[in-house]
């Protein structure tokens, strides 16, 4: 395998570099807004309209849902005009889909978006060429063990006026999954516009744990954005007008369930928060303003072996954290959920409710184990970054391959593999595989210079085990810079074509995504 020629990337540098007069856009400084004047929006729950026959599965019926992608207006703060967003039905984040393990659902995803995009498309990106329709969409349920034809393959996009009906068998354990757009080359824009929502799987095992439920269990979607003074979304652009792609977006307006600086009245008792980092590129480092300890009880693909106490957790784009916060010793206090210096939302703790006596079980779900010796294959997958003459990031590639090169990862169904992500870049990349769940084995520093010269790994330090809160089932793993990150995965589910990619959406849209294929034995 050889590094792809740098010439492939010259088109980016050669694109007009003349900085044309940018249109005047006054950005909003979110700190100028009144804090904690809006209540936290509780996400609506999707309603099935009845049972329908599952296509291609004679005799099988499943609850049917119809969810339309639409342009909506939503006030993200009391003192701002309504923001134009794209959501599902009438909200962004869209309605939460509540499902049970083993009970499949049919969802018709309808594209009712307008014909024009309102965010800056870069026609140089693969799949977003000028001959493609501006508005394209396809829905993927992140973390779902779904058949390939229902997984939302990035090239399976469709235009306004069309719809697709996908079947999700839900043959998996209780977990907080999420649905979001996955259209090739404009995914970052479609998510930034608001096309995301929760998809929660429940099961009997979890029910027996007696965790906080009903109004004591609250899904939270956290995203960062830039807003203009008139409340509209602002997506940053490069200085090249015809090649507006930027390598990263870190907004200064923190939306929780679509609101800035909202508050939630809570009782002095245990609460469960199903938290999703739905940001394009920001890693949230979450803590509470009173530094109190909370517990992480689950990760991407479900419950941990036991609750992990923490005062600060890191959640990368695409990752979920299942958190339990005990407010019982804090009646009357106001506690802010924060990420570094950003304030996200406020909890206003009232009195203890009548049913406050619950405590957290000491043991949750047995820790998953896959023996390393059961792996039939180890794949070494380097991440390369290409920069232009000014040192600006142009493209990051998985295994040195572009999206449209032949499929190289072809695991055999029901076999176990170890994937070693060799990160030669200065960034952490949250690496996500569709279809499967995996366990992180370790992260280990290596000599990058040696690797670039010899394509062999020379370790320079000891292997570091995953953090306790990463020890459960994952579908997204932080591949840290200058580290080899290893995970072990059994390719269960369905043969067919899926994708794996970095979940920093700007990277994903610019070639940091590859197809992979689960093949029959």
Per CB under 6 A, the segment of 5-13, 19-27, 91-99, 495-503 that binds ligand C2O is: 495-503
Q: Which of residues 318-357 bind ligand C2O (CB under 6 A)?
A: 318
Q: Which residues pair with 314 in a beta bridge?
A: 285
- Give the DSSP H or E segment for 166: strand 163-168
180 binds, among Cu ion, ligand C2O, none (CB under 5 to 8 A by kind): ligand C2O
Residues in contact with ligand C2O, counted by CB under 6 A, come to a total of 10
- Give the DSSP H or E segment for 448: helix 448-454
Report the residue from 136, 164, 182, 514 that binds ligand C2O according to the rule CB under 6 A.
Answer: 182
Per CB under 6 A, the segment of 35-43, 62-70, 332-340, 496-504 that binds ligand C2O is: 496-504
Distance CA 180, CA 221 (A): 12
> Residue 216 or residue 283: which is nearer to ligand C2O going by CB?
283
182 binds, among Cu ion, ligand C2O, none (CB under 5 to 8 A by kind): ligand C2O
Distance CA 180, CA 86 (A): 11
Q: At its nearest, how many Å lie between ligand C2O and the CB of residue 56?
A: 24
Per CB under 5 A, the segment of 104-112, 271-279, 415-423, 504-512 that binds Cu ion is: 504-512
Pairing of strands 38-39, 139-142: unpaired
Report the residue from 142, 272, 437, 444 that binds ligand C2O according to the rule CB under 6 A.
Answer: 142
Q: Which residues pair with 233 in a beta bridge?
A: 227
Distance CA 429, CA 479 (A): 5
Q: At its nearest, how many Å lie between ligand C2O and the CB of residue 180?
A: 6
Q: Which of residues 430-459 bind Cu ion (CB under 5 A)?
A: 434
Per CB under 6 A, the segment of 263-271, 272-280, 335-343, 498-506 that binds ligand C2O is: 498-506
Angle at 132 between CA 233 and CA 168, to 5 degrees: 75
| 44: number of Cβ within 10 Å | 15
CA distances, 359 to each of 267, 355, 362, 365 (Å): 14, 11, 9, 16
Q: At its nearest, how many Å lie between Cu ion and the CB of residue 507?
A: 3
> Residue 70 or residue 501: which is nearer to ligand C2O going by CB?
501
Q: Which of residues 420-449 bind ligand C2O (CB under 6 A)?
A: 432, 434
Q: At its nearest, how many Å lie between ligand C2O and the CB of residue 143?
A: 8
Question: What's the chain's Rg over C-alpha atoms?
Answer: 22
> Is residue 501 at the binding interface for ligand C2O, with CB under 6 A as the rule?
yes
Task: Show the site string, 294-323: x = touches ligand C2O by CB under 6 A, - = not.
Answer: ------------------------x-----
Per CB under 5 A, the segment of 42-50, 217-225, 260-268, 428-436 that binds Cu ion is: 428-436
Q: Please report the DSSP string for 201-266 in residue order.
A: EE-HHHHHTT---GGGEEEEEEEEEEEBTTS-EE----S-TT----S----SEEEETTEESEEEEE
- Six-digit token pair at 496? 């067919």
Q: Dihedral of the CA atoms 486, 489, 494, 496 (nearest 10)?
A: 20
Distance CA 192, CA 85 (A): 9
Q: Which residues bind Cu ion (CB under 5 A)?
A: 142, 429, 434, 502, 504, 507
Q: Which residues bind ligand C2O (CB under 6 A)?
A: 140, 142, 180, 182, 318, 432, 434, 499, 501, 503
């Amino acid at each position: 395998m050889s590094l792809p020629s740098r010439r492939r990337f010259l088109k980016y540098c050669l694109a007009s570099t003349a900085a044309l007069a940018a249109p005047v856009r006054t950005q909003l400084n979110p700190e100028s807004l009144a804090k904690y004047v809006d209540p936290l929006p509780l996400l609506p729950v999707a309603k099935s309209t009845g049972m329908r026959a599952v296509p291609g599965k004679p005799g099988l019926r499943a609850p049917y849902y119809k969810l339309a992608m639409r342009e909506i207006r939503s006030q993200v703060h009391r003192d701002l005009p309504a923001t134009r967003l794209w959501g599902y039905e009438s909200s962004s984040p869209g309605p939460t889909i509540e499902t049970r393990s083993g009970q499949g659902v049919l969802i018709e995803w309808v594209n009712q978006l307008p014909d024009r995009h309102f965010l800056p498309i870069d026609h140089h990106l693969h799949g977003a060429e000028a001959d493609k329709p501006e508005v394209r969409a396809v829905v993927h349920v992140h973390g779902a063990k779904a058949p390939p034809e229902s997984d939302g393959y990035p090239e399976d996009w469709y235009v306004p006026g069309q719809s697709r009906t996908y079947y999700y068998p839900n043959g998996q354990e209780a977990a907080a999954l999420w649905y979001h757009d996955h259209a090739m080359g404009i995914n970052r824009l479609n998510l930034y516009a608001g096309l995301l929502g929760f998809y929660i799987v429940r099961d009997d095992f979890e029910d027996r744990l007696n965790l906080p439920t009903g109004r004591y269990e609250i899904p939270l979607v956290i995203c960062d954005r830039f807003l203009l003074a008139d409340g509209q979304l602002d997506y940053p652009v490069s200085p090249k007008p015809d090649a507006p792609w930027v390598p990263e977006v870190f907004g200064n307006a923190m939306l929780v369930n679509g609101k800035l600086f909202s508050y939630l009245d809570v009782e002095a008792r245990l609460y469960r928060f199903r938290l999703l980092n739905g940001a394009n590129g920001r890693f949230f480092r979450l803590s509470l303003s009173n530094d109190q300890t909370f517990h992480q009880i689950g990760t991407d693909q479900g419950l941990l072996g036991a609750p992990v106490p923490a005062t600060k957790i890191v959640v990368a784009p695409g990752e979920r954290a299942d958190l339990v916060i005990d407010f019982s010793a804090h009646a009357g206090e106001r506690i802010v959920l924060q990420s570094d210096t950003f304030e996200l939302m406020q909890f206003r703790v009232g009195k203890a409710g009548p049913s406050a006596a619950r405590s957290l079980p000491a043991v949750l779900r047995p820790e998953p184990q896959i023996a390393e010796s059961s792996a039939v294959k180890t794949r070494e997958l380097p991440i390369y970054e290409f920069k232009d003459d000014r040192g600006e990031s142009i493209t990051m590639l998985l295994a040195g391959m572009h999206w449209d090169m032949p499929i190289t990862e072809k695991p055999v169904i029901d076999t176990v593999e170890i994937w070693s992500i060799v990160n030669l870049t200065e960034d952490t990349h949250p690496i996500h595989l569709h279809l499967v769940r995996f366990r992180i084995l370790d992260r280990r520093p290596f000599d990058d210079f040696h690797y670039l010269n010899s394509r062999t790994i020379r370790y320079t330090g000891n292997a570091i085990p995953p953090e306790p809160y990463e020890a459960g089932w994952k579908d997204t793993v932080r591949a840290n810079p200058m580290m080899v990150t290893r995970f072990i995965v059994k390719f269960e589910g369905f043969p067919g074509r899926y994708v794996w990619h970095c979940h920093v959406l700007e990277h994903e849209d610019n070639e940091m995504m590859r197809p992979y294929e689960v093949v029959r034995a």
